[in-house]
């Protein structure tokens, strides 16, 4: 894998390429990986997924949703990308399912890292971790770290120093086990932990940078997992710690931050130098019956009252609106279905509601990333962010009913 940052760009823009399995794939950054749970995009079959225009050529999966099934994937012999029919995409194996609430994460030990999956907590040594990855054969892998989950904002220095030491130790041992393994040479991304504390953060980053086998970094712990990922950046933007962490990282290695991040947070993080995100935000919007409708250009809409950041399709005011979710949207849902019909599907709890909303929300979010890259090229991201903030308004009042059961993981 090769990551090249464009030297002529106003802001950080780059390209990921030269993947061993898919040498022709090129991923523009800042970019967005397709979020999958258990190897599939929630609500969408492969046929339906392919109706979405300009899909990214890179997807995420996670140890936490798939490690229970490693024996089946191993038996398949062709790795997770082919097992899950994602073989035309670069597949990145992250550590955790970022759509799931993680109440407390402090269960790793000196020698093992914890992964929570449907079967409960499982401890993985570096040798166990490499064995799972040999079965998965993904194109890019996140090394397990002592991530803080939703306790990241409140953890003290003793906890965070312990997390730093365990994470760096696990990374060193994993790189040793990778040598001579079936997946030697697979790009390994280091987990950067340390909560909101500058010292463990920068020590973790500096120690990971010294390992030449590390191909990039996953910045953990700057937001909560699950639905609360969106709220974190609204309440507190720990930009100082993030900037100091990023300042320790080399320019020529990719930086990833996963989670359901609000588009305004994505704009901020891109300006700060984060390269890759994922579409789990659209999953959260779909689950609450929402449809993204924020502007995708710098041109202000004629009347602000006509435009919302997101519309709540469960609201009865949409029952008799026989227009697309968003006027001008070219997605399959907006081309064929109305707000009134999708409101009806949500009311009657039909699974098709999640399918149609997912198509629109992923389409809209991917167009947002195209607009983001344009803004970075034209040095207009500040103006676009200001426009989006005008339309953010207060978080909509949603009822608690979700399209499908909320994934959650606790210490059990």
- Scanning 58-66, 88-96, 97-105, 326-334 for contacts with Zn ion by CB under 5 A, the matching segment is 326-334
Question: CA geometry: angle at 182 spanning 177 and 187, to 5°?
Answer: 70
- Scanning 131-139, 140-148, 160-168, 355-363 for contacts with Zn ion by CB under 5 A, the matching segment is 355-363
- Scanning 182-190, 233-241, 327-335, 368-376 for contacts with Zn ion by CB under 5 A, the matching segment is 327-335
CB of 363 to Zn ion, least distance (A): 6
CB of 310 to Zn ion, least distance (A): 13
Site residues (CB under 5 A) for Zn ion, limited to 201-220 = none
CB of 118 to Zn ion, least distance (A): 33
Is residue 43 marked as binding?
A: no
357 lies in the binding site for Zn ion (CB under 5 A): no
Tokens 């499982």: give the residue.
122
- Scanning 11-19, 330-338, 342-350, 366-374 for contacts with Zn ion by CB under 5 A, the matching segment is 330-338
The nearer residue to Zn ion, 188 or 331, going by C-beta atoms, is 331
Helix (H) or strand (E) holding 277: strand 276-278
Per-residue burial over 49-77, b if 16 or more Cβ lie within 10 Å, else e, is beebeebbbbbbbbbbbbbbbbeebbeee
DSSP string computed for 37-105:
BTTB-TT--HHHHTTSTT--SEEEEEHHHHGGGHHHHHHH-SHHHHHTT-TTSEEEEESS-TTSEES--
Site residues (CB under 5 A) for Zn ion, limited to 222-281 = none
Please choose, from the candidates 10, 19, 82, 56, the residue with its C-alpha nearest in 3D space to the C-alpha of residue 254: 19
Query: Which runs of consecutive H residues, i.e. helices, occur in 186-322?
Result: 198-209, 229-235, 239-247, 263-272, 280-287
Which phi-psi region, left, alpha or beta, contains residue 226 (left: φ > 0; alpha: ψ -120 to 50)? left
Contact by Cβ (8 Å): 13, 275 = no
The nearer residue to Zn ion, 45 or 335, going by C-beta atoms, is 335
Q: In angstroms, rounded to a whole number, what is the distance separating the alpha carbons of residues 223 and 227?
A: 10
One residue of 219, 229, 331, 355 binding Zn ion per CB under 5 A: 331
360 lies in the binding site for Zn ion (CB under 5 A): yes
- Tell me how many residues contact Zn ion (CB under 5 A): 4
The nearer residue to Zn ion, 116 or 360, going by C-beta atoms, is 360
CB of 334 to Zn ion, least distance (A): 3
Is residue 360 marked as binding?
A: yes
Phi, psi of 285 (to 5 degrees): -65, -45
The nearer residue to Zn ion, 116 or 367, going by C-beta atoms, is 367
362 lies in the binding site for Zn ion (CB under 5 A): no
The nearer residue to Zn ion, 25 or 48, going by C-beta atoms, is 48
- Scanning 12-20, 72-80, 217-225, 323-331 for contacts with Zn ion by CB under 5 A, the matching segment is 323-331
The nearer residue to Zn ion, 195 or 263, going by C-beta atoms, is 263
334 lies in the binding site for Zn ion (CB under 5 A): yes
Cα 171 to chain centroid distance, Å, stands at 22
296 lies in the binding site for Zn ion (CB under 5 A): no
HSE (CB half, 13 Å, CA atoms) of 173? 19
The nearer residue to Zn ion, 42 or 324, going by C-beta atoms, is 324
CB of 27 to Zn ion, least distance (A): 24
One residue of 329, 345, 356, 403 binding Zn ion per CB under 5 A: 329
DSSP string computed for 100-145:
SEES--TT--SS-EEEEETTEEEEE-HHHHHHHHHHH--SEEEPP-
Cα 79 to chain centroid distance, Å, stands at 22
Task: List the binding residues for Zn(2+).
Answer: 329, 331, 334, 360
Task: List the binding residues.
Answer: 329, 331, 334, 360
Q: Give the residues lining the site for Zn ion (CB under 5 A).
A: 329, 331, 334, 360
């Amino acid at each position: 894998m090769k990551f090249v940052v464009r030297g002529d760009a106003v802001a950080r823009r780059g390209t990921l390429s030269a993947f061993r399995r898919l040498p022709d794939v090129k991923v523009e950054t800042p970019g967005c990986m397709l979020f999958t749970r258990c190897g599939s995009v929630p609500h969408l079959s492969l046929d339906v997924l392919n109706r979405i225009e300009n899909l990214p050529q890179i997807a995420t999966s996670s140890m936490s949703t798939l490690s229970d099934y490693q024996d089946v994937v191993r038996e398949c012999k062709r790795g997770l990308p082919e097992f899950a029919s994602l073989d035309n995409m670069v597949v990145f194996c992250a550590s955790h399912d970022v759509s799931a609430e993680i109440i407390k994460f402090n269960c790793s030990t000196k020698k093992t890292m914890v992964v929570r999956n449907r079967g409960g907590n499982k401890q993985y040594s570096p040798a166990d971790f490499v064995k799972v990855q040999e079965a998965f054969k993904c194109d890019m892998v996140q090394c397990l770290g002592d991530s803080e989950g939703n306790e990241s904002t409140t953890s003290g220095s003793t906890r965070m120093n312990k997390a730093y030491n365990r994470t760096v130790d696990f990374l060193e041992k994993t790189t040793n086990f990778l040598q001579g393994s079936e997946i030697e040479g697979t790009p390994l991304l280091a987990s950067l932990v340390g909560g909101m504390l500058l010292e463990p953060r920068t020590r973790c980053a500096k120690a990971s940078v010294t390992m030449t086998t590390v191909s990039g970094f996953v910045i953990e712990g700057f937001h909560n997992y699950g639905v609360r990922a969106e709220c974190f950046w609204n309440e507190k933007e720990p930009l100082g710690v993030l900037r100091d962490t990023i300042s320790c990282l080399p320019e020529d290695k990719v930086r990833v931050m996963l989670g359901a991040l609000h588009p305004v947070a994505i704009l901020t993080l891109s300006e700060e130098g984060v390269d890759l995100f994922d579409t789990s935000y659209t999953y959260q919007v779909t689950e609450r019956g929402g449809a993204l409708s924020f502007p995708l250009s710098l041109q202000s809409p004629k009347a602000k009252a006509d435009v919302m950041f997101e519309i709540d399709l469960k609201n009865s005011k949409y029952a008799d609106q026989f227009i697309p979710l968003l006027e001008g949207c070219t997605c399959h849902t907006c081309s064929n279905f109305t707000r009134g019909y999708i409101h009806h599907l949500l009311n009657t709890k039909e699974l098709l509601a999640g399918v149609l909303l997912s198509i629109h929300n992923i389409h809209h979010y991917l167009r947002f990333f195209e607009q983001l890259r344009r803004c970075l090229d034209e040095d207009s991201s500040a103006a676009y962010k200001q426009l989006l903030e005008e339309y953010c308004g207060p978080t909509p009042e949603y009822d608690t009913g979700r399209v499908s059961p909320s994934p959650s993981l606790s210490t059990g």
